[in-house]
Amino acid sequence: MSKTFELRKIIKQILDMTIGKTYYELASDTAVFPYKVYSFENIDLGDVERDDLILLVDIWGKDDVSEVEFLTDEIENIFNNLNSPSATSLPTFYRISRKPIPDEDKAIKHRQLKFQIQNYYIG
């Protein structure tokens, strides 16, 4: 299994513990609010044994901002200083930022979390 796919699997399993469907990079056109979209902003390949990645988690909701804030709080708390090893991937997550993102549709509520991942690979 590829190292990126293994890391994606870990992240999706964690995000799936929260309400709403989880998507990678793009949500479905028929996505039901609230939902989460995660992606990698960049990957720094400085060390042979470790990749440093920036994980973006976008949380989307409609009408009720408290639902989006609650979900954002929950995801932030789960990932903050989380070490989540698997058989071949040893990621540790660190908070970087949290911000609201305005949408043209005033009913859409959007928050973005950014985490650094320090990921060591086995094998």
Which CATH number do you get for residue 80? 3.30.2000.10
Angstrom distance (rounded) from CA 59 to CA 39: 12
> Residue 63, CB half-sphere, CA atoms under 13 Å: how many?
2
**Selection from 114, 97, 109, 102 nearest residue 40 by Cα:** 114
Q: What is the pLDDT of residues 11-34, one digit of tens each?
A: 999 999 999 999 999 999 999 999
Q: Residue 103 corresponds to which amino acid? A: D
Could you tell me which residues come within 8 angstroms of residue 1 by beta carbon, excluding any fewer than 6 positions away? Answer: 88
Domain count, the chain: 1
Q: What is the pLDDT of residues 104-118, one digit of tens each?
A: 999 999 999 999 999
What pLDDT sits at residue 71?
A: 98
Angstrom distance (rounded) from CA 31 to CA 4: 24
pTM above 0.85, yes or no: yes
**Selection from 56, 11, 65 nearest residue 33 by Cα:** 65
| Structural domain span for residue 8 | 3-121
Q: What is the pLDDT of residues 63-103, one digit of tens each?
A: 989 999 999 999 999 999 999 999 889 999 999 999 999 99
What pLDDT sits at residue 122?
A: 82
Q: Exposed, middle or buried by CB within 10 Å (0-12, 13-18, 19+), for 77?
A: exposed
